[in-house]
Structure 1
Amino acid sequence: DLYPLICYLPRYATDASIKPDPEDSLPLWDNVTHSRAPVVPPFGVDSLKNESETPNGPQRRGTIFQPEQALPRVSTDVPLLPARIPPRTTFYDYLPIFLFFKPILTIFRGTRYTEDRRDGAGRKKAARPVESNVPLEISLFLSSYTAWLLKEDLVKPAIATALINTLTVLQDTVANLDRVRTTPIPFAYQAHLRTTMWIYLFLLPFQIYASFKYLTIPATAFASFLLMGFLEIGQEIENPFNYDLNDLDLDAFCLTIERELAEITAHSASDPSSFLFNSFNQPFAPTDRRNVEEILADSKHAYHLPDSGMMHVQRTLLGCWREIDEVTRHKAR
């Protein structure tokens, strides 16, 4: 969903009107198979034929949500994946207690679950290398644009300083989020905790058999469910940026920012005189409920006295404080 917003930048530009030539391919698209005909995504970046189709199968009617419709429509000679590719919903998502048998089924079926993010020992698999860090590259172009504004004297130095500081905070935030995503729980801690847990659960039936008798099996299963849940919780909080139910909904955050930016840019910065001096502004309410026009028109009021005008304004503000303090405090009957 980001491509239509950055497709005009030099690193990501792909001209669909020109016949693709491998000799002219940018480094980012070097290993990508170019289409002979331009691919025009229906809503920004989704190049799938059916609106309800995803790489993991079709979506059910009524569950389709495509915020890409609000993005510019661009054409590219490079086939693009959808903006959101959640993992396929499986049987284990509905009954996670059967995850214990998943490695055994894998051995008998002779297949590997490519969507698993951990190996058999519970260690986090290394992420696939990424050709480029898109957020940092966007911040590079933003810094270049800020430098150009300064060079052309289009912004004041103080405003440019605020822009540069904001870009620095943005880069630090991206680096911190990436550090959270790529920093695993130490394997020695995981291995020690798992080994201790399995040894305890293996010996638990022999410890409680004399007291529980035939209830030993369900009691052991219940204890295993509780204790193994703590291990799963530790793995869940290791990376909060996936599509699990407990992960952060970054898509919702980004869509909220998109809506707020659109709302901000839709309202121009008006002259303060156009909204300060009108009939709706009552600056001294609740003590003085006259609007600005009435206050300015009453030239004989104490506010307009050359020597004591500010004293009367301060007296009115103190009255506002007393009245607000009395009204907003809840008094027990």
Structure 2
Amino acid sequence: MRDIAVFSGSAHRELAAEICAELGIPLQPSTLTRFANDCLEVQLNANCRERDVFLIQPLVAPVQEHLVELLLMIDAARGASAARVTVVMPHYAYARSDKKDAPRISIGGRLMADLMTTAGADRVLTMTLHSPQVHGFFSIPVDHLHALRELAAHFVQYDLRNTIVVSPDLGNAKEAASFARMLGCPVAAGAKQRFADDKVAITSVIGDIDGRDVIVLDDEIAKGSTVIELLRVLKAQGAGAIRIACTHGLFAAGALGRIAQHPEVAEVVCTNTVPLAATEVAAGNGLLTILSIAPAVAEAMRRIHDGESVSALFNQQGPISGQSLF
């Protein structure tokens, strides 16, 4: 992979280093400077000319700072005559702004996609977008990964004969059904309603929950309102032990600590698409398990660089035996 150059923004350098270790290549240095007027400047401190450049930067808090840094990295790579610039964005925070559900509001997911394209990105590699339609907001190729197989490979260690997979809402039911097939489990979904003040209500879970252990699958956990409301309903419908799985463990505003207070929760599993501080991990009171998506992202990057199919990574169907896809 001599013609590849990988740089990282400041959002998640640990993940970038892990990805480069999987690829067997060095993480190239870069410098972020903040001037007296609060403007940012990015310098890529390695040759980019006619190279396949990958820029690793999940959009996590502070999202606006990391977004501007990413745009500047893209512009720097384009100005340095990179042959191709691929944005590796494991978490796209603006994917939640995907529709006009109130008068006179912006659709941030589309606007930020346009900004990346205008800055000079040729391709995007991302994981588990909040809504499938966000893929179409980009006018450049997008490789959309998911972490279902990594999550499933973790859960097959348990006795799942009395387990059901539950999606918090019908919007995530398709992914939950795919996940349930991997585990050989049935699937259920919550009847969820979100109100204007961002409050969440789940009236019931559609499926046979009584007496069963549960794996709750969601794309991300931010404030945890949906998961906590779902825990209430699952308990009322007679669920047993509950494990919670998500790709993006944001755990904002003390969400992990609030979830850990529920005695029926046996485990919370997320991936490392976003960085977690030690204090946030400690709030899980030993319940949190973090899985690495570095092997999956590294393999996708290798395939992009070599001109191979990325979608072929997800063609395997049915139950898995416990081994990771990679």
TM-score bucket (shorter structure): under 0.3
The alignment's TM-score, normalised by the length of structure 2, stands at 0.24
Bigger helix share: 1
Bigger strand share: 2
